[in-house]
Every structure is written in C-alpha cells, then in structure tokens.
Amino acid sequence: MYYKINVKTFIRVPPSNFGKDTRNIILNILNEQFQNYISERLGIVIGVLDVQETGEGVIIPGDGAAYHETKFTLLTFKPEVQEIVLGNVSEITDFGAFLDLGAIEGMIHVSQTMDDFVSFSKSNVLTGKESKKVLKVNDKCRARIIAVSFKDLANPKVGLTMRQPFLGAINWIEEEIKSNSKVIEEKQSKK
C-alpha cells in the first residue's frame, strides 16, 4: 500500500549552500538521503513529496553547517500481507513468474499461479494443463500478497498468489466474470 508519511527531523545544510533558497537546498538533500531508502518500518521510499516547514538554522560550533528543523512528506510503498496488487509480468522462469508492482517486484511460485498442473515452455510461458490458461511476459495480473520479508533490506521479498477467485491475468478474470454472469442468468431464468 502507498502511504504519505509526515516526518520531522534536523537537516544539515553545508556552508557552501548559505545564501541560496533554503527550502530547495533541503529538498535536494532529502531526496539524496532517501533515494533507494528501504526500511521495515517505512517500506520502500518512493520520494520526498514536499517540504512543509523549515526552521531557523542553528550553527553547531566546530561544524560550520546550519541545522534546520524540517517537516516534510515522504511517499512510500509498504507491501502488506493480504493486500491485492496489480502489476505486469516482467519475467517467467521454470519456478514461477515475477510481477512488477511499480516500487518492487513480487514473485509468484509456479504452484501459486493457477489451480491447475502448470507446465513451463522454453518460450517462457506457463500453461495450465486442464484449464489451458496461459501466463506470459507483459500480461497484466491481479495477485494477493501472501508473504513479505525485509530480512535483507537491500533486497526485500514479496510472495504472491493468484490461486483465488478473481485473481490472475486480467483476461482470466474477465472470462471468470462472464462465466459467473451466465450461471446467474440461467438460475434466474429457471425461477
């Protein structure tokens, strides 16, 4: 899920930036500090949205830089278990598929792609034996997050499933909706 988080901290502005627009300097410093920043508490920081307040700078003896109390807003993505996500298949392997969620990639193990025996072809396609459903690169899919790990902060992991109703490739879902609509119409016509 995406979050806007308000943060308050002190930002060090080096003397070489004195006399320049303090708010813009602080925004640039914050963007550098939070570029590629990942934590279990915040998730994946997408960027700094804005700087709301900058206090008067305080110079610490022996440093020469000014420290400004600053309030700013971060945009973050923190994947949460049970959350439904939408993404595009970025890669297919013999053990599953990778779904590009925007801020991060999630992995769908081959056993979690569909309720069917799944085979992998050398053309990087997963195919259901009975259902004949096909999953390939660039397919738009809906999945549910079933596992999140921030054990390695440089490379967080997101596990996904598509083995539930109204999950999977968008064309599968559209077919499922049409099929369910026909069943409902048939039941109503029998009444």
Domain that holds residue 29: 2-77
Total number of domains constituting the chain: 2
Amino acid at 19: G
**Are 41 and 13 in a shared domain?**
yes
| CA gap 179, 165 in Å, rounded | 12
Contact 22, 53 (CB under 8 A): no
Model pLDDT for residues 57-102, shown as the tens digit of each residue: 898 888 889 999 999 999 999 999 999 999 999 999 999 999 999 8
**Are 35 and 66 in a shared domain?**
yes
**Are 116 and 55 in a shared domain?**
no
Model pLDDT for residues 122-159, shown as the tens digit of each residue: 888 998 999 889 999 999 999 999 999 999 888 899 99
Q: What is the mean pLDDT of residues 110-119?
A: 92
Q: What is the mean pLDDT of residues 103-126?
A: 91
Whole-number pLDDT of residue 24: 92
Cα angle at 55 between 50 and 60, to 5 degrees?
120
pLDDT mean across residues, the chain: 91
Q: For the sheet with 66-77, list strands across it.
A: 2-13, 66-77, 43-59, 38-39
Domain CATH for 176 = 2.40.50.140
Whole-number pLDDT of residue 187: 74
